[in-house]
């Protein structure tokens, strides 16, 4: 069964090819079958492979699909590498991917670009599978760029709207900054260690470099740059909220469950390198903490349902970075897994709300949806509970692990993480209370059917009980030493933090004991709200710091000296053209005369020479 591993990324790719190459009318009928079928079979394969893998010796398995680049001394194969880490990622990508594909079959049904949607989704899933299965950094980079392409295509899926195209380009360019760092990083690793194979790279690095060596720090920072761009962490996080311009299933699959966690996967995959560079590892933790606080605060004031979820995604990935930074590798992957469950659930439920209230995104124009949409309400409730890590939901287990690991490392990191948990509680239940409680109720125009409700139910179950899953990552990561004497007060505060957030949300948005309206009356509140609403003004900061100066330079540089000769050539040929064109008078006699003159000249030359 393990031999069939190569079909896991290939099947969605074939799905993409079939959907792209077949004609419009044909593929419209075919689209859901091919789109869901390819991912479905590949998910089935993953589960069979996973069963065999976990009941086997848990040895890493390698499969070479063929040679990609083979130049003198350098050979890069299409090599797949399966260990517990990539197995976990396979479960996430194909399992969640399948549920989201099924959901999209109904969600996107009336869209004219239905086949195109499934083609792009299949392309994305295939690239993501290549990314997590790659055994060398170049193949990983291929998948890394492939998911970037898929993300770009799907954010700009409704390309008729200029804003969507802008959002797609923004996401592409912002992640490209990180990707450049990643490319430099892997080339640097190659020049130092003469191989692209991840496992031997890590082995040699640990062998040859001393901890804290400059080369280790530089290469780890470059890889971190790539991870920061892809995972939308500070300072490259501004693309993710805009990426919500894409269809909601896309946000669920790419911008919540899979692609944005690729950075976490990359750091976990190359964790030996980060252990060799403790400063960079600490930077990972700091980036995570700062990002989770900043984006959490932004999430509190957003009014667009999808933007709230986007900021919350950035914040939760901040937790994963925090876990990576404090060396709790498996906790980070565990949080990645549970986050994929509950965030995909939240996005799909949010999509169902948007679907039913006729594409309204503003949460304050919703309200009282609890009675009209009970299934969506309960899924959203479960998702929010897991997101804010209320006890006994899946998010609780993973976040608790992360925060305790952070406490071992530094109490400041832990305190910031707990503050973040309070904020998470506030914004997630603010969302629930505003959308589903209250009196005002918009007209629910449509009902959705089985294709959309089944994924919601399955994901709800996973989001509730996903914390019980035991992922056997001990074979991949170095054992983390957890102190036995767990501080009871620390544990208590960690558990209580989200509850405090919930309480605040209840007071503000359910009870009305403290009204947010009342708070808005203070003069100093509004500027802060605006500041947070724009994501701490980072977009305008980049605009004035980078975009405007660049435009200014470009403006000045538009007519430089080098252009002159080329402009001269253009001028000369235009003049020649005018002259030649003037000789074409349209008069027959003029032509006959010129021919006679020409003949005389030619004959004269012939006679006289």
Partner 1 sequence: MEQGLLLSAMLFALGLLGVLVRRNLIMILMSLEVMLNATGLAFVVAGSRWGQADGQIMFLLILALAAAEVGVGLGLALHIFHRFATLDADSINEMQG
Using the minimum distance from each CB to partner 1, give the nearer residue, 507 or 592: 592
490 and 414 in contact (C-beta within 8 Å)? yes
- Residue 579 C-beta: closest distance to partner 1, Å: 10
137 and 77 in contact (C-beta within 8 Å)? no
**394-46-256-510 Cα dihedral, nearest 10 degrees:** -30
Using the minimum distance from each CB to partner 1, give the nearer residue, 173 or 596: 596
SS3 520: helix
- Residue 581 C-beta: closest distance to partner 1, Å: 3
Question: Can you tell me which residue has the tokens 């490319």?
Answer: 183
Using the minimum distance from each CB to partner 1, give the nearer residue, 554 or 582: 582
> Which two structure tokens, joined as six digits, stand for 202?
């890590």
- Residue 561 C-beta: closest distance to partner 1, Å: 34
- Residue 598 C-beta: closest distance to partner 1, Å: 13
3-class SS string, 365-419: HCCCHHHHCHHHHHHHHHHHHHHCCCCCCHHHHHHHHHHHHHHHHCHHHHHHHHH
- Residue 540 C-beta: closest distance to partner 1, Å: 54
Using the minimum distance from each CB to partner 1, give the nearer residue, 57 or 586: 586
- Residue 568 C-beta: closest distance to partner 1, Å: 24
**In degrees, to the nearest 5, what angle opens at C-alpha 573 toward C-alphas 567 and 575?**
105
- Residue 606 C-beta: closest distance to partner 1, Å: 17
Using the minimum distance from each CB to partner 1, give the nearer residue, 69 or 596: 596
**In degrees, to the nearest 5, what angle opens at C-alpha 120 toward C-alphas 119 and 123?**
90
Q: DSSP assignment of 74-96, as one string?
A: EEEEEEEEE-HHHHHHHIIIIII
- Residue 582 C-beta: closest distance to partner 1, Å: 7
Residues 6+ away with beta carbon under 8 Å from 388: 395, 421, 424, 425, 428, 429, 498, 501, 502
Give which of 438, 331, 343, 426 is closest to 382, Cα–Cα: 343
Question: Can you tell me which residue has the tokens 């009941």?
Answer: 55
Using the minimum distance from each CB to partner 1, give the nearer residue, 488 or 586: 586
Using the minimum distance from each CB to partner 1, give the nearer residue, 517 or 581: 581
How deeply is 356 buried, as exposed, middle or buried, from its count of CB atoms within 10 A (0-12, 13-18, 19+)? buried
Using the minimum distance from each CB to partner 1, give the nearer residue, 194 or 577: 577
Using the minimum distance from each CB to partner 1, give the nearer residue, 581 or 609: 581
Using the minimum distance from each CB to partner 1, give the nearer residue, 47 or 590: 590
173: phi then psi, degrees, rounded to nearest 5: -70, -40
- Residue 571 C-beta: closest distance to partner 1, Å: 19
Contact residues: partner 1, CB under 8 A: 580-589, 592-593, 596
- Residue 25 C-beta: closest distance to partner 1, Å: 47
SS3 237: coil
- Residue 580 C-beta: closest distance to partner 1, Å: 7
**372-376-380-382 Cα dihedral, nearest 10 degrees:** 110
Using the minimum distance from each CB to partner 1, give the nearer residue, 208 or 585: 585
Distance (Å, whole) CA 384 – CA 390: 9
- Residue 602 C-beta: closest distance to partner 1, Å: 15
405 and 480 in contact (C-beta within 8 Å)? yes
Distance (Å, whole) CA 12 – CA 83: 21
Using the minimum distance from each CB to partner 1, give the nearer residue, 583 or 609: 583
Distance (Å, whole) CA 246 – CA 66: 35
Give which of 248, 249, 245 is closest to 36, Cα–Cα: 249
Using the minimum distance from each CB to partner 1, give the nearer residue, 21 or 582: 582
Distance (Å, whole) CA 474 – CA 453: 36
Q: DSSP assignment of 138-193, as one string?
A: HHHHHHHHHHHHHHHHHHTSSTTSHHHHHHHHHHHHHHHHHHHHHHHHHHHHHHHH
Residues 6+ away with beta carbon under 8 Å from 33: none
* H or E stretch at 591: helix 588-608
- Residue 590 C-beta: closest distance to partner 1, Å: 9
- Residue 607 C-beta: closest distance to partner 1, Å: 15
Using the minimum distance from each CB to partner 1, give the nearer residue, 54 or 594: 594
Residues 6+ away with beta carbon under 8 Å from 130: 9, 139, 140, 142, 143, 146
Residue 506 CB coordination number (10 Å) = 17
């Amino acid at each position: 069964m393990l031999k069939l591993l190569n079909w896991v990324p290939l099947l969605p790719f074939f799905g993409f090819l079939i959907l792209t190459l077949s004609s419009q009318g044909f593929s419209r009928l075919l689209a859901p079958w091919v789109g869901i079928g390819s991912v479905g079979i590949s998910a089935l394969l993953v589960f069979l492979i996973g069963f065999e893998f976990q009941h086997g010796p848990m040895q890493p398995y390698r499969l070479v699909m063929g040679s990609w680049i083979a130049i003198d001394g350098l050979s890069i194969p299409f090599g797949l590498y399966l260990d517990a880490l990539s197995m976990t990622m396979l479960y996430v990508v194909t399992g969640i991917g399948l549920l989201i594909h099924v959901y999209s079959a109904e969600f996107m049904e009336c869209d004219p670009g239905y086949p195109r949607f499934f083609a792009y989704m299949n392309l994305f899933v295939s690239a993501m599978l290549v990314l997590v299965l790659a055994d060398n950094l170049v193949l990983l980079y291929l998948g890394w760029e492939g998911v970037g392409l898929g993300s770009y295509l799907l954010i700009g899926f409704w390309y008729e709207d200029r804003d969507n195209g802008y959002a797609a380009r923004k996401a592409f360019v912002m992640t490209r900054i990180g990707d450049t760092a990643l490319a430099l990083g892997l080339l640097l690793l190659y020049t130092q260690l003469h191989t692209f194979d991840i496992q031997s790279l890590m082995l040699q690095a640990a062998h040859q470099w001393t901890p804290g060596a400059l080369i280790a720090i530089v290469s780890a920072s470059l890889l971190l740059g790539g991870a920061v761009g892809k995972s939308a962490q500070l300072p490259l996080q501004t693309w993710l909220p805009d990426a919500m311009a894409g269809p909601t299933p896309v946000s669920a699959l790419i911008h919540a469950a899979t692609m944005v966690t690729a950075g976490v996967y990359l750091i976990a995959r190359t964790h030996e390198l980060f252990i060799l560079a403790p400063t960079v590892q600490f930077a990972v933790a700091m980036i995570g903490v700062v990002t989770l606080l900043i984006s959490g605060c932004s999430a509190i004031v957003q009014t667009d349902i999808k933007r709230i979820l986007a900021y919350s995604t950035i914040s939760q990935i901040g937790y994963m970075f925090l876990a990576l930074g404090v060396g709790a590798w498996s906790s980070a992957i565990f949080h990645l897994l549970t986050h994929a469950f509950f965030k995909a659930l939240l996005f799909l439920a949010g999509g169902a709300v948007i679907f039913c209230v006729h594409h309204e995104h503003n949460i304050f124009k919703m309200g009282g949806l609890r009675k009209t949409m009970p299934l969506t309400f309960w899924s959203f409730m479960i998702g929010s509970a897991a997101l804010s890590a209320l006890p006994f939901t899946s998010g609780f287990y993973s976040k608790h692990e992360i925060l305790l690991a952070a406490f071992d490392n530094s109490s400041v990191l832990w305190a910031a993480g707990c503050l973040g948990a309070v904020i998470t509680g506030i914004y997630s239940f603010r969302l629930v209370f505003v959308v589903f409680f209250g009196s005002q109720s918009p007209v629910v125009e449509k009902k959705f059917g089985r294709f959309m409700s089944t994924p919601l139910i399955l994901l709800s179950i996973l989001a509730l009980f996903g914390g019980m899953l035991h992922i056997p990552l001990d074979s991949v990561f170095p054992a983390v030493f957890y102190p036995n004497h767990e501080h009871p007060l620390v544990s208590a505060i960690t558990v209580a933090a989200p509850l405090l957030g919930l309480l605040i949300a209840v007071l503000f948005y359910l009870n009305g004991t403290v009204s947010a309206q009342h708070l808005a009356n203070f003069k100093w509140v509004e500027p802060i709200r605006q500041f947070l609403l724009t994501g701490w003004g980072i977009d305008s900061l980049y605009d004035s710091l980078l975009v405007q100066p660049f435009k200014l330079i470009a403006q000045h540089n538009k007519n430089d000296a080098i252009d002159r000769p080329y402009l001269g050539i253009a001028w000369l040929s235009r003049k020649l053209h005018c002259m030649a064109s003037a000789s074409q008078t349209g008069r027959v006699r003029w032509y006959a005369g010129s021919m006679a003159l020409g003949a005389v000249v030619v004959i004269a030359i012939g006679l006289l020479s």
